[in-house]
Structure 1
């Protein structure tokens, strides 16, 4: 039976008395340049907010340091991991948001015996039998399943029976895995998938997809995209008066720049999400004061990942990556940014997948995202085609 450790702030202060005095270095691999740089910046901001709280409660000489590596594409991931471990002596890695980069990075962390905690969704991440990789969010197929079932449930509450849907997805590990979850959920529910189209990441012309959608008689559309592709799909739909409920696949649909780019076109767009800032209002207020925007989901998830890794190192009383890995696996951490994740904690099953977190639905209201489903986590009532569901 797996042993579970619950760590309190008091316990951490006691542990620190005997901790190693040299800094605890954590590596952070993110796309800080290129097309996905905004996700990397948001994740970094969340980690820096978490780091403030971590170091505020540690004695002098026992601080935590984050060493960042800019990795905008998978082909640079392994070298970045090697460099962080051999040159910077990091004891663990956090990153990288983009599933394909995380898959490449985790090949290296597994080989080197260094723990890695990610918020990337792809099923393969914890589906390979690796010992050193952990996911704080549910896997992509679970997001796809809930993306479908939550939408159908809300449509039913609004008096609409869903019989036909459309799926657009970018052809990366994240897009294909999440689309597969939607597809399988629709099959189980007897709902026809009238469009099931992959497209290349960074597509520049979505007009053929939207024209196909217009002719399809779909009642719902599920675009699984990163930021730029999602913006292009939604804008083209709205400009061509294709008025269907839209259920985004997290990623680019739930960051502040989505609404900035689309303005009124963003209103009432749904998305599946691993977390939302309205569940931790005090931390969200601190974040907004510091960074001038709401706290995106990746800020919450990666800040929580950092806190989990540091708490595990403290529990292990060691800078040995193997011992920290074992402590990560056995720790249930329910403080700080972890309280902003549905389920309220970070913890992992035997495969390294979260054992506590679950997806939620968020919906755009002006420049804010609000949690609307399931009811237990909702902060406001959902709206379907402009009408509030009581």
Structure 2
């Protein structure tokens, strides 16, 4: 055999070996686990949806960079996002698409209760586990469904926490509101919250003097502000998404509407960093916000995953973690925990593992919970929020009192506009 023929033979052998090695490595490579995430990436809740998306992406990358799902031979998480456009019908269609066409093993989302409620019905019917992110409508986890799990509060918890905080401040300072106004968006979330507030307020001796549902995307809150001014409530409870909350707050500041015991927002727009970028800081001074995570948790956390997630959020969005990025992170870590225990991406196996979830440490608890454990309806009974107050442009935890930092003192009652 000539040298040239010998060289060609060696080259063929080497190439064949390389091809065999490549084929062997791909044959043994773990197949990625596909998870779907339905979020409002456009429409009225787009700011929130995109913050949640960043949280989901950060957590998936952290898990993949750490070696993926160990019990599945290092399988990577592959996230398939779907845009609900903040619309129930679109959310339903997109849920059907990612289950049937993308063949995802599990879903998360969808923030808007009006989207999540019907979309999770589709997931239940198609026997695909769904980890709820952000949506609080009580009935989401009150339908005897087996595939739906919610980490965060339901609406009843939110309403109770707002009234609990008022009661605490009343006891602490010796005075507090007797009459309340309510202004809320007119879809599932707002109406569910208002219904719960009315029940709890009546039990605690508060009188509701304004009960006003607002249609979405209003261009003027003048009529509602006139009603509130005429009724002279001691405080107002607000449940509005970011665009409407911005307009209401701007107009309230322009009109210098005084409320002796302030504005009490149940998350919504006042949890959104975009809200604070769009208004003068003083527009939100002294406001109370029922937060879906402990807003000042980063001051005390030592978890490297949480601290690095905050830095990654800043790089992606220009500001640190919000409740929405935190909820996205938590959902992915809960799903990863279930995958590790299920040792399978099969939907039934994953559903069974989610039902047995009991997380008491790690980045899944970034929202500030001490534990994540679902009841028979799929609700995390250890979920809770905190109540913050905006002091000089910084939201500081005020309720529960044991979560309050030493340098955080409530301002109660709140100063009139003329005294600020």
Q: TM-score, normalised by structure 2?
A: 0.83
Check whether the contact 1:30–1:40 (CA below 8 A) recurs between aligned residues. Answer: yes
- Cα offset, 1:140, TM superposition: 0.7
Q: How do 1:149-298 and structure 2 match up within 5 A?
A: 149-244=164-259, 245-263=262-280, 264-281=282-299, 282=307, 283-298=309-324
Deviation per CA, 1:63-98, whole angstroms, max 9, x where unpaired? 111100011111012221221122212100010100
1:69 aligns with 2:82: yes
Task: Go from structure 1 to structure 2 and tell me whether the alpha carbon gap of 1:344 and 1:290 turns closer, same or farther (over 3 Å shift).
Answer: farther
Q: Which residue of 2 aligns with 1:22?
A: 31
Secondary structure of the structure 2 residue equivalent to 1:384: coil
Question: Which of 1 and 2 has greater Rg?
Answer: 2
Q: Distance in 1 between matches of 2:215 and 2:391?
A: 30
Secondary structure of the structure 2 residue equivalent to 1:262: coil
Q: Which of 96, 104, 114 is the matching residue for 1:90?
A: 104
Q: Which residue of 2 aligns with 1:44?
A: 53
Check whether the contact 2:182–2:238 (CA below 8 A) recurs between aligned residues. Answer: yes
RMSD: 1.9
Check whether the contact 1:123–1:140 (CA below 8 A) recurs between aligned residues. Answer: yes
Secondary structure of the structure 2 residue equivalent to 1:65: strand
Question: Which sits farther off after the overlay, 46-55 or 369-378?
Answer: 369-378
Deviation per CA, 1:98-151, whole angstroms, max 9, x where unpaired? 011101210110011000011210011011111111111121122012112212
Q: Distance in 1 between matches of 2:75 and 2:175?
A: 58
Secondary structure of the structure 1 residue equivalent to 2:67: coil
Check whether the contact 1:170–1:225 (CA below 8 A) recurs between aligned residues. Answer: yes
Q: Which residue of 1 aligns with 2:114?
A: 100
Q: TM-score, normalised by structure 1?
A: 0.89
Q: Which residue of 1 aligns with 2:154?
A: 139
Check whether the contact 1:304–1:346 (CA below 8 A) recurs between aligned residues. Answer: no
1:319 aligns with 2:348: no
Q: How do 1:103-142 and structure 2 match up within 5 A?
A: 103-118=117-132, 119-142=134-157
Question: Which sits farther off after the overlay, 231-240 or 107-116?
Answer: 231-240
1:32 aligns with 2:41: yes
Task: Go from structure 1 to structure 2 and tell me whether the alpha carbon gap of 1:231 and 1:307 turns closer, same or farther (over 3 Å shift).
Answer: same
> How many residues end up aligned between the 2 structures?
369
Check whether the contact 1:300–1:337 (CA below 8 A) recurs between aligned residues. Answer: no
Check whether the contact 1:141–1:179 (CA below 8 A) recurs between aligned residues. Answer: no
- Cα offset, 1:37, TM superposition: 0.6
Deviation per CA, 1:26-46, whole angstroms, max 9, x where unpaired? 100001111111111000111
- Cα offset, 1:20, TM superposition: 8.3
In structure 2, list runs of 5 or more residues that go unmatched.
Answer: 1-27, 300-306, 416-420
Task: Go from structure 1 to structure 2 and tell me whether the alpha carbon gap of 1:334 and 1:284 turns closer, same or farther (over 3 Å shift).
Answer: farther
In structure 1, list runs of 5 or more residues that go unmatched.
Answer: 1-18
